[in-house]
Structure formats: C-alpha cells, structure tokens
Structure 1
Amino acid sequence: MTHGDHGQHVLDGLRGEARELRNRIPDVYAGYSATHKAALSAGELDVATKELIALAIGVSKQCDGCIASHARGAARAGATAQQVAEALGVAILMNGGPSTVYGPRAMDAFLEFSGENPA
C-alpha cells in the first residue's frame, strides 16, 4: 500500500466484497448495525473518545477495515491528530510490535479523513 491507501481506498474495497454476504444474512448485518450504533452513541464518553477506543482496538486486531472505518469516525467526531497519536501509543503499549506496523496505517487513515494528510 502506498501513502493514502489506508483510508477510503480500504473502505471502497470492502464495500463490494461485503455486499454478497450481507445480502445472504441481512438480519445478522442489521443486528450488528444496531449494536454499532448503540456502542458508538454519545453517553458518559463522547463519540470521539469511543471512536479512538475502536481505532486502537482495530490496530490491536490488525484489521485494516476497522482502522479505516474508525479513523473516519474519529475524524468526523472531531478527534485531533494528537489524540489519535496518543490512543495509538496505548495500542503499541498493549500490543507491542504489530501495533508499530498498524498504528502508522491508522494515523495515515485518520490524516486522510481529517484532511490533514498531504497525500
């Protein structure tokens, strides 16, 4: 992947792949969508904080689709690049070496979605 390939490019690639499975098990996807919405809605934690948590977990799980989705969510929720960097620092602490590979991908995706990436 080149610079800028960790954000929208990943999401676009997954969209078509997911369509076939989603069409075959729509109730599963509807249930997941409801859980996603409930988990990321503002409560005692604001949406940006929840997106940062999800982004760090996506890095720990080495899930490029999760990283792209939650990098976009964090950008839309108003997270700052420094907040993302610090959340990724926690992912590196908790997950070690693999997060030093996936963390930069997450930072790149966030910068792309936030408009801060000089791609």
Structure 2
Amino acid sequence: MSYGHAVQDELREPGRALRRAIPEVYDGYRTMHAAAYAAGALDEKTKELIALAIAVSKECDGCIASHARGAARTGATESEVAEALGVTIAMNGGPATVYGPRAFAAFREFAEEADPQGG
C-alpha cells in the first residue's frame, strides 16, 4: 500500500464516525463540494488540479490523497500534475517540496489503478 491509500485508510473510520455525529454539516459540505467541482467555465480536471495544488499548499495529507485520486479519475496526466505541483512549489517554497512529492506519488498510485497498462 502506498501513500494515497494509506492516508485514506487511516481517515476512513474516524471520518465515518464524525459524519454520523454531525450529518447536517457533512450534507451541507457535500452540496457545496458538488457545486464547486461541477464542470462550468473550468472543467472538472482543471478544478481537481487546482484543488491538488491547494492541498499541497495547506499541507493536508487527506486532501492530497482525495484530490490526487480526483485528478486521476478526471484524466489528468502525469505532466499536468507535475506542472501544477511546480507552480505550488514556486508559490510555497520549501514546504511544497515535501508535500508536492507526496501528491505526485499519490497521483501516480491512483493513475496506475485507473490505467494498469500504463497507456
């Protein structure tokens, strides 16, 4: 198991428990999330790349795993992710050189699952 799955596995049960405790908050968040990520002037892939860059900036491992998976699911390429992470490093400096590689590893993990033939 590598980075992306490890983080998601670690957060799965605590996340479920909190959702059960405050379902209205999570329902509101889910509605906002769906509206924010819906295709519009920007497509879903671009929005996932933005979210991944922000996740690295915020140093949020759970967010990184989620948006690396989202980037893979929406068809982002390794080059697109790398360039988005390059901008993140330019904007955030040293911390992004730690969290950027985590994001890149998570993306590659999820992309491999989406296309196990690598093509």
What TM-score does the superposition give when structure 2 sets the normalisation length?
A: 0.91
Match of 1:7 in 2: 4
Instruction: Give the secondary structure class of the aligned counterpart of 1:20.
Output: helix
Distance in 2 separating the partners of 1:52 and 1:61: 14
Instruction: Tell whether the 8 Å contact from 1:7 to 1:113 is kept in structure 2 after alignment.
Output: yes
Instruction: Give the secondary structure class of the aligned counterpart of 1:7.
Output: helix
Match of 1:96 in 2: 93
**Which of residues 105, 109, 113 is equivalent to 1:108?**
105
Match of 2:28 in 1: 31
What TM-score does the superposition give when structure 1 sets the normalisation length?
A: 0.91
Q: RMSD in angstroms over aligned alpha carbons?
A: 1.4
The alpha-carbon deviation at position 5 of structure 1 amounts to 2.7
**Which of residues 60, 63, 71 is equivalent to 1:63?**
60
Consecutive unaligned residues of structure 1, counting only runs of 5 or more, are none
Distance in 2 separating the partners of 1:22 and 1:73: 21
Query: Which has the larger share of helix?
Result: 2
**Which of residues 71, 75, 83 is equivalent to 1:74?**
71
Regions of 4+ moved over 4 Å: none
Instruction: Tell whether the 8 Å contact from 1:6 to 1:64 is kept in structure 2 after alignment.
Output: no
Match of 1:54 in 2: 51
Match of 2:82 in 1: 85
* Identity fraction in percent: 65
